[in-house]
Amino acid sequence: MKICVAQLNYKIGDIENNTQKIADTIHEAKQAGADLVVFSELAVCGYPPDDLLDFPWFIEKCEQGLEMVAQSCQGIAAIVGGIGTSTYSTGRQLHNVACFMRDGRIEDTVKKTLLPSYDIFNESRYFEPNREHRVIDYKGVKIGITICEDMWDKYNTFEYEKSPASHLSVNGAQLIINPSASPFCIGKQKIRNKVLEGNTKRFNSPIVYVNQVGAHSDLIFDGSSCVVNGKGEKVSTLDTFKEDVQYIHFKNGEITNASEDETNPEAEEIKLIHDALVFGIKDYFKKMNFKTATLGSSGGIDSAVVQALTSTALGGDKVHPVLMPSKFSSSGSVKDAEQLSKNLGNPHITIPIKNVYNSYVKSLEPHFEGTEFDTTEENLQARARGVILMALSNKHGHILLNTSNKSEIAVGYSTLYGDMCGSLSPIGDVYKTKVYALAQYINRDQEIIPNEIINKAPSAELRPDQKDSDSLPDYSTLDEILNLYIEEQKGPWEIKSLGYDSKTVEKTIALVNGSEFKRFQSPPILRITSKAFGRGRIIPLVANYC
């Protein structure tokens, strides 16, 4: 049996174009002599559709989409992810399904059993779990279909009560097919490999793992689909951050690679992060039909990295940086920012904020009598810049990108409605120390980001001789504490017991907890870690906890 593994990029909710893409791929696979094409989870509507699933008219469209695709299955079979209406007398009305189609119709519908509901996943909100398990017999092969999490029964932070794969194995499955929608984060590919290996060992059957590729504001799906033989060896790996279609053979209970391609070697971490962010920006602009970007270019490392990533994603001529110096900006910073735009081929402009800032100060003077320059005036500068950038965005249609990094978002060292403005936050899940690593990676072949930007001490330049280190611990210590508190979810006492200075730990955690209100109004952040700010981390605003 020749199987086509179709790793495609879907737009959420866009049933018409998604189903057309699926039908086209089925047609091509048939031309190539395939017997079966496999698509990723919820292919028809894209993953995650979120509360679009609450709309009855949307469900109807999804079901019509599946029917349309089924009609295109003539002389070939397909497994297509979509939404199914429940056949049970109790429980939620929807299922997350994979439809087995042939001869122009949906021959069988397999429901998802394990519904991930943690971190960025929310499936119990919508779906009723599967209650029965059967294999599909196609051309003499017993195929067991598990959907994404169904394969993760023993590989989560907890073990699920049910094991759909065990049931299918008992029922004689010779080949496991797993349509998935598993988003990228650092280290995720290793975990997936362990899950695939564990499953082949437990059930002695090869697995075809078909992941979604594509980015949707915060979530980046990397693809990296693969096929594992019964010994747990990868015989085929599909592209990362790109659509890819490959063919494999299933014969005598085992899988072989049809195209004899070499499998892709695993990329190093910093390259993966870089490529994920470039893909996240690129796909966001493409799917939103945005053409050009703008951002505040300060001469600092954060805006430099965002500017470089965006130039790679969209092309240098599509990025319009704005230099907005104040009296606190060093001449070095301005020069460095100009050099950066030159290196990247960005058409930059300069708008000093002095006049706007002074007019605010003057207007507020009667009400600020007897007060000193403090964070109010620092914020005024950041907000004056935010308003200028938004005006340029409104007038010229450039999309404003946010340049905050994860360390400063964590401790709230950013100004709401100022440097927190933006439509998308490309490095909001990248700690400051990793931002430096990204800059080095961007410069791997030539000096794109001027070395002066990389080497200078970090500063917001909002008052004379300001340095981040005046009020924060050095970033290597800060990032370690933040990682322990945010990703590792350790409490203050545990972190202190690891040898960190008690006052530093307390201050850091108080800053993190005290800035939930800012993060609540933050733009969507491209997710690259196991715990990004955003939908995967929901902390009460009105609370008192540590």
Active site positions, annotated? 41, 112, 148
370 sits near its own copies (criterion: CB under 8 A):
no
The answer to whether residue 379 forms part of the interface with its own copies (CB under 8 A) is yes
Using CB under 8 A as the binding rule, the residues of this chain from 513 to 542 that contact its own copies are 517, 520-524, 535, 537-542
Among 455, 464, 499, 543, binds its own copies (CB under 8 A): 543
Q: Is the omega angle on the peptide bond into residue 129 within 30 degrees of 0, that is, cis?
A: no
Nearest-5° Cα angle at 75, 73 to 78: 40
Q: What angle do CA 351, 353, 354 make, to 5 degrees?
A: 125
Residues between 32 and 71 with contacts to its own copies, criterion CB under 8 A? 46, 48-52, 54-58
Question: H or E element: which one contains 322?
Answer: strand 319-323
In the list 4, 145, 281, 353, the residue contacting its own copies (rule: CB under 8 A) is 353
Which of the ranges 8-16, 193-201, 202-210, 466-474 carries the binding residues for its own copies, by CB under 8 A? 8-16
Distance from C-alpha of 16 to C-alpha of 336, rounded to nearest angstrom = 47
252 scored as a contact of its own copies (CB under 8 A) = no
Is 471 one of the binding residues for its own copies (CB under 8 A)?
no
* Min CB(92)–its own copies separation in Å: 5
Do residues 280 and 220 touch, judged by C-beta distance below 8 A? yes
Residue 100 β-bridge partners: 79, 108
Q: Which of 284, 287, 276 is nearest to 402 (CA)?
A: 284
Which listed residue (3, 5, 11, 348) binds its own copies by CB under 8 A?
11
Closest C-alpha among 487, 488, 483, 480 to residue 531: 487
Dihedral sign, Cα of residue 505, residue 511, residue 514, residue 519: negative
Token pair of 538 as six digits: 């929901």
Stretch of 158-166, 258-266, 267-275, 456-464 contacting its own copies, by CB under 8 A: 158-166
Q: Applying CB under 8 A, which part among 122-130, 236-244, 301-309, 454-462 lies near its own copies?
A: 122-130
Position among 87, 103, 125, 327 found at the interface with its own copies (CB under 8 A): 125
- In terms of DSSP bridges, do strands 175-179 and 141-145 run parallel, antiparallel, or are they unpaired? parallel
Q: Does 359 bind its own copies (CB under 8 A)?
A: yes
> Among residue numbers 259 through 298, which ones bind its own copies (CB under 8 A)?
284, 287-288
Residue carrying the six token digits 């909710």: 13
Residue whose CB is less far from its own copies, 457 or 538: 538
Taking the complex as a whole, the smallest distance from the CB of residue 329 to its own copies amounts, in Å, to 15
Which CA distances in Å does 310 have to 97, 166, 425? 37, 46, 11
Instruction: Say how many residues touch its own copies, by CB under 8 A.
Output: 95
Query: Per CB under 8 A, does 216 bind its own copies?
Result: yes
Q: By C-beta, is 141 or 219 nearer to its own copies?
A: 219
Among 159, 261, 317, 474, binds its own copies (CB under 8 A): 159
Distance of closest approach, residue 366 Cβ to its own copies, in angstroms = 8
Task: Give the residue with the Cβ less far from its own copies, 245 or 400.
Answer: 400
Interface with its own copies, residue 237, by CB under 8 A = no
Of the candidates 170, 391, 498, 510, which one interacts with its own copies according to CB under 8 A? 391
Rounded distance, CA 179 to CA 98, Å? 8
CA distance 485 to 545: 13
Which of 87, 204, 259, 358 binds its own copies (CB under 8 A)? It is: 358
Contact string 331-350 vs its own copies (x = CB under 8 A): ------------------x-
**Bridge partners of residue 248, in order along the sequence:** 3, 257
Tokens of 214: 């594509």
Footprint (CB under 8 A) of its own copies, residues 488-507? 489-494
Least distance (Å) between residue 259 CB and its own copies: 32
Angle at 97 between CA 59 and CA 12, to 5 degrees: 50
Q: Which of 155, 328, 360, 441 binds its own copies (CB under 8 A)?
A: 360
SS3 for 354-399 is HHHHHHHHHHHHHHCCCCCCCHHHHHHHHHHHHHHHHHHHHHHCCE
Scan residues 419-448 and list those touching its own copies (CB under 8 A): 421, 423
Exposed e or buried b for every residue in 285-313, given b needs 16+ CB within 10 A?
Answer: bbbeebebbbbbbbbbbbbbbbbbbbbbb
Least Å from the CB of residue 353 to its own copies: 8
Show contacts with its own copies in window 405-424 (CB under 8 A). Answer: 416-417, 421, 423
369 touching its own copies, by CB under 8 A: no
Q: Token digits for 466?
A: 């300001």
